[in-house]
Amino acid sequence: MTWDTPSASCQAHHAELAVIETNEENTFIWSEMTKLGGFFWLDGTDKFSEGQWEWASTGEPLDYSNWFPGEPNNSNGQEDCLLTGGVYKTFWNDSPCSNQIKYICEKKLENPVVG
């Protein structure tokens, strides 16, 4: 799916494309992705302001990032969406939003259990 399609699909399930805020979360998501293989969309984009990466669901800047060396590079001036996985493994890459890849939704716990 293109980047815009999974965003709508996630929202239909009261979720958003995944936002990764820590190295531990990045490692956990990667460990789950390896079971399926391939590339996956995350919620990050700079399509609203080139070079200003933010989480689309919140408008917050990426405080944590794990870019592949030399990325983001906006190759051909058309790479505005964030993907991970595939040959990049735990690293991130900017990609054209029109690419057809898998995606990861994230849903907040409404009633967390506290012990």
pLDDT band of residue 8 (cuts 50, 70, 90) is confident
pLDDT band of residue 31 (cuts 50, 70, 90) is very high
Q: For position 58, which CATH number holds?
A: 3.10.100.10
Whether residue 111 lies inside any domain: the answer is no
Alpha-carbon distance of 15 to 107, in angstroms, equals 4
The tally of domains found in the chain comes to: 1
At 114 the pLDDT is 74
At 108 the pLDDT is 83
Best-predicted range by mean pLDDT (2-11, 12-21, 64-73): 64-73
The domain of 56 spans 3-106
At 11 the pLDDT is 87
Alpha-carbon distance of 66 to 29, in angstroms, equals 13
What's the token pair of residue 57?
A: 């669901």
What's the token pair of residue 41?
A: 């969309």
How large is the average pLDDT for residues 82-91?
A: 93
Which DSSP state fits 67?
A: B
Whether residue 112 lies inside any domain: the answer is no
At 24 the pLDDT is 96
Whether residue 22 lies inside any domain: the answer is yes
Whether residue 114 lies inside any domain: the answer is no
At 25 the pLDDT is 95
Q: Chain-wide mean pLDDT for the chain?
A: 93
Count CB-CB contacts under 10 A for residue 81.
26
Whether residue 115 lies inside any domain: the answer is no
How large is the average pLDDT for residues 8-32?
A: 92
Q: Sign of torsion, CA 69 75 77 82?
A: negative
At 110 the pLDDT is 74
At 90 the pLDDT is 93
Give the pTM: 0.89
